[in-house]
Amino acid sequence: MADSQDRTLPATQRKLQKAREDGQVARSRDFGHFMAVAACGAMLVAMAPTASGWLKHMVMQGLQFNAASVRSSAFMGERLVALTISMMWVLVPFGAAMMGAALFSGLAIGGWNWTLKPLLPNLGKLNPITGLPGILSKDKLIDALKGSTLALVLGAIGALYFRSHIDAFSGVLAMPLPAAIEHTGQTLLGGLTLLLLALALFAAIDVPLQRHQHAQRLKMSHAEIKQENKELEGNQEIKAKVRERMREMTKKRMLAAVPKADLVVMNPTHYAVALKYDDTKMGAPRVVAKGADLLALKIRDTAADAKVPVLEAPMLARALYAHAELDREIPAALFAAVAQVLAYVYQLRAALKGAAAMPGALPELNVPNELDPHQKPVADAQAFE
């Protein structure tokens, strides 16, 4: 009880969707009754001339017999089958129209909702003790009161209308059959109109009432919303562990790729970026590892152990760290500067093999100032850090 009293917040979209999957949508029986009776009445009015002629023909056919047909034992059975088939040709369209109107009323209120969950067996509903609170709930009492009131109103309308038109109904007996059928149809149509007005009034009340009750049943407490948000976002501790695990895996993968790099550019200790270039497979040099602070030192030490050249180019290292993504090609704006350091490394390797002269100092690199985080305004530099 305390938990239901705490449910004061409207249902979230996730709970509404879950309720629809469970078959819980707002439906109005009174609106369905109104639409079904209205569809039947509309068909009666539209088909009145045809229905009047058909009814007259069926009554005349049912009253026709002769001495030979009376003596035949199979005649009554054949006549009953024929009349039943004729009746079905009329009743089936009316029944289909009422079913279509009822289906439309459900779609108009709650929309299309296809689910088989309400058909699954639920043994918990067989326990009368657990079902007793639901029977005595506020919604059930309201539905019972509304249904009883509707029955009384419709019964009162029918009784009063029949009482006020009793002379018209009794006078039918003195009329010829075609006139009697037409007069009876017109009289019944007036009573049907009054019943439709009553059903329309109840439907106008029941539709917003059912939507309100449905929203009340799905209301949530603060604890339920917090639990739902936790389920959607996931446990923060678990997510932190997952992120840490992913960082460790990325770190190991980068360090494993450093020995295969062509060179490492450093800052000289704060940033380190390892580059790989294969002109047969790559359109531009690719970043295979990058890191800052302790990870940068680890990349440097791993490169030194693998005899990969390590060059100190602070501005280029900072620009690569800030703008180049891991396992991606370097930005086009840094092509020239990276080409300079690669050419220097290739010349250095050739000199170590005795195939070329030893190069001098690393030339000044062509790094655009706007790509260096340290050259940006303080706010932008802090964003990079």
How confident is the model at residue 385, as a pLDDT?
A: 39
Give DSSP secondary structure letters for 134-191.
Answer: HHTSHHHHHHHHHHHHHHHHHHHHHHHHHHHTHHHHHHGGGS-HHHHHHHHHHHHHHH
Residues 290 and 199 in one domain: no
Tally the domains of the chain: 2
226 falls within a domain? no
C-alpha 252/C-alpha 247 separation (Å) is 9
230 falls within a domain? no
Residues 135 and 183 in one domain: yes
Residues 326 and 199 in one domain: no
Q: Give residues with Cβ within 8 angstroms of 252, minimum separation 6.
A: none
pLDDT digits (tens, 9 = 90+) for 264-306: 888 877 899 999 888 888 888 889 999 888 888 998 899 889 8
13 falls within a domain? no
Q: Which of 248, 249, 258, 345 is nearest to 301 (CA)?
A: 258
Q: Which helix (H) or strand (E) holds 99?
A: helix 75-110
3 falls within a domain? no
45 falls within a domain? yes
How confident is the model at residue 381, as a pLDDT?
A: 39
68 falls within a domain? yes
Residues 44 and 102 in one domain: yes
pLDDT tens per residue, the chain (385 residues)?
A: 445 557 778 888 888 888 877 777 887 888 888 888 888 777 777 776 666 667 767 777 666 666 666 667 677 777 778 778 877 777 787 778 878 887 888 777 777 766 666 666 666 666 666 666 666 677 778 878 888 888 898 889 888 888 887 877 777 777 776 677 666 777 777 888 888 888 889 888 888 888 888 888 888 888 888 887 777 666 667 777 878 888 888 888 888 888 888 888 888 778 999 998 888 888 888 899 998 888 889 988 998 898 888 888 888 888 888 888 888 888 888 888 888 888 888 887 787 777 777 777 777 787 888 887 877 554 443 443 3
The answer to whether the bond into 133 is cis (omega within 30° of 0) is no
338 neighbors 275 (Cβ within 8 angstroms):
yes
Q: Which residue is associated with the tokens 């026709």?
A: 64
pLDDT digits (tens, 9 = 90+) for 80-133: 787 788 777 777 877 788 788 878 887 777 777 666 666 666 666 666 666 666
227 neighbors 262 (Cβ within 8 angstroms):
no
C-alpha 77/C-alpha 81 separation (Å) is 6
How confident is the model at residue 52, as a pLDDT?
A: 65
Helices 138-164 and 177-217: crossing angle in degrees, nearest 10, is 160
Q: Give residues with Cβ within 8 angstroms of 161, minimum separation 6.
A: 190, 191, 194
Of 192, 217, 242, the last residue of a domain is: 217
Residues 136 and 32 in one domain: yes
Of 196, 217, 238, the last residue of a domain is: 217
Residues 81 and 213 in one domain: yes
Of 217, 244, 270, the last residue of a domain is: 217
pTM, two decimals, is 0.46
Residues 170 and 66 in one domain: yes
The DSSP letter of residue 310 is: E
Indicate which CATH number applies to the domain containing 348.
3.40.1690.10
Residues 170 and 261 in one domain: no
171 neighbors 130 (Cβ within 8 angstroms):
no
Provide the domain limits for residue 51. Answer: 25-112+123-217
134 falls within a domain? yes
β 310-312/263-266 pair status: parallel
Residues 197 and 62 in one domain: yes
Residues 205 and 141 in one domain: yes
C-alpha 337/C-alpha 316 separation (Å) is 7
Number of neighbouring beta carbons within 10 Å of residue 9? 12
Residues 271 and 378 in one domain: yes
Q: Which two tokens stand for residue 81?
A: 């089958």
193 falls within a domain? yes
C-alpha 292/C-alpha 287 separation (Å) is 14
Which residues, listed in sequence order, are joined to residue 264 by a DSSP beta bridge? 274, 310
Residues 178 and 264 in one domain: no
